[in-house]
Amino acid sequence: MIFAAATSCKGDPPDSVESGERPENSIILSVSKEEFRQKGMRLDTISMASFPSVISANGMVDVPPNKRATINSYMGGYIKDFPLLIGDRVRAGQRLLTIENLDFLELQQQYLEAGQRLKYLKAEYQRQKELYQEKINSQKVFMQAENEYERVKILHQGLGEKLRLIQIDPGSVTSENMRSTISIFAPISGSVTKVFVNTGSHVTPDDPIMEIVNSEHLHLEIQVFEKDALSIKKDQKITFRVPEYSNQEFSAVVKLIGRAVDQDRTVKVHADLSGDSVYSFIPGMYVQAEILAEEVLKPALPLQAFVPIEGTTYLLELVSEDETTLTFRKIGVNPGEQYGGFAQVDLGSSAKKKKYLVGYPS
């Protein structure tokens, strides 16, 4: 067990030391080698450790644009069937809702009429082409037949594309199965995050109906001040917290740095989440982040070497060693930056040759 072995014989000099200065007489502590081994203590020397400069920033949890879908209708109408609620899970291709509008009937009617006229004009075009080739009619008559056939052909194809946009297969439309309702299907898998309508609502092509978000690919969108932007590089590590969620720290990695400065003089940084934290968040959550930028080598010791005693932090410097006992003296210090299990300490160049106790059982 560690115990006080000796004290200063000239009074009680201060135990603290700054800029490498040491008191001539410090409290001496001893520990047996048996206890040293049993409690997993060890000796270490001051070495150079990496300390990154930290850039503080704010941002939010977000998803890529292709994982967020706003649902609209290409043609307006009344919501006839809307069974979903916020939070419901949907899969790509699933029917979301039904819209009713008499304009859907008119569009199918126009498509069928254009198809019937196209059959007649195609036959007429073929007939006039043969007559023109046989020099029986004029080029003008042939050109008129050709132009009319191409015009209606284009019209028929355009109407067919409009039907496809509202999820009606043109090839299946007949005079017997025309309908006034259409279904809207999910473009992506995800969860319903917003709903803007209810059954009976009238919507236009400009009106959002609902929003779907796929949260399987969460990332961070962080804003940094322009003065810090040049210090940020790809693959730099980020630690962040979600204040409204917990005090736990999570990690991320810089992937993209914006190339434009916004009006508020900030630059956007895109970061990918690391580890299992991706499953804990909801898009839109506010985050406080620290980007670990360029690293600088500084003299340091493991955090376990710093011993808090009665409000003061000490290092235990090895003074002597024999077959059974290790003897130390307390050196008061003010540890600097901390990172990666190390704390910066500056005791002067001569201190680098000294050995310090790591793992004091405080």
Residue whose C-alpha is closest to residue 342's, from 45, 113, 86, 97: 45
Separation CA 59–CA 266 (nearest Å): 11
Cα separation of 125 and 119, whole Å?
A: 10
- pLDDT digits over 244-292, tens only? 877 888 999 999 999 999 999 999 999 999 876 555 788 999 999 999 8
**Residue 362: CB atoms within 10 Å:** 10
Angle at 57 (CA atoms; ends 296, 271), nearest 5 degrees:
85
Confidence of residue 186 (pLDDT cuts 50, 70, 90): very high
- pLDDT tens across 203-235, in order? 999 999 999 999 888 999 999 999 888 889 999
Residue with tokens 């720290």: 249
CA distance linking residue 344 with residue 50, whole number of Å: 10
Higher-scoring residue by pLDDT: 106, 8: 106
Res 238 pLDDT > 50: yes
Which pLDDT score is estimated for 21? 41
Structure tokens at 253: 């990695």
Q: What is the pLDDT of residue 26?
A: 60
The token duo for 105 is 């009937």
The whole-angstrom separation of Cα 301 and Cα 312 is 17
| Strand intervals (E) in 226-324 | 237-241, 250-257, 266-273, 286-302, 307-309, 312-321
Radius of gyration of the chain (CA): 38
What letter would DSSP give residue 230?
Answer: T
| In the predicted structure, residue 24 carries a pLDDT above the cut 70 | no
CA distance 115 to 120: 9
Per the confidence metrics, is the pTM higher than 0.75? no
Q: Is 43 exposed, middle or buried (0-12, 13-18, 19+ CB in 10 A)?
A: middle
Residue 227 CA to residue 64 CA, distance in Å, equals 27
For residue 343, which phi and psi values (nearest 5 degrees)? -130, 140
Query: Taking 60 as the threshold, does the pLDDT of residue 87 lie above it?
Result: yes
How confident is residue 133, by pLDDT bands cut at 50, 70 and 90?
Answer: confident
Amino acid letter at 336? G
Beta carbons within 8 Å of 231's beta carbon, 6+ residues apart? 53, 55, 293, 294
CB of 293 closer than 8 Å to CB of 225: no
- In the block, residue with structure tokens 């000294």: 354
Q: Which helix (H) or strand (E) holds 1?
A: none
Look at residue 1 and tell me whether its pLDDT is greater than 60. no
Q: Which two tokens stand for residue 358?
A: 């790591």
Number of Cα atoms under 13 Å in the Cβ half of residue 40: 3
In the chain, the domains with their CATH numbers are 3-51+300-358 (2.40.420), 55-66+214-296 (2.40.30.170), 68-211 (2.40.50.100)
Distance CA 95, CA 353 (A): 73
- The token pair at 57 is 């920033």
Work out the mean pLDDT of the chain and round it to a whole number.
88
Q: HSE, CB side, 13 Å, CA atoms: give it for residue 123.
A: 5
Nearest to 306 by CA among 345, 269, 273: 345
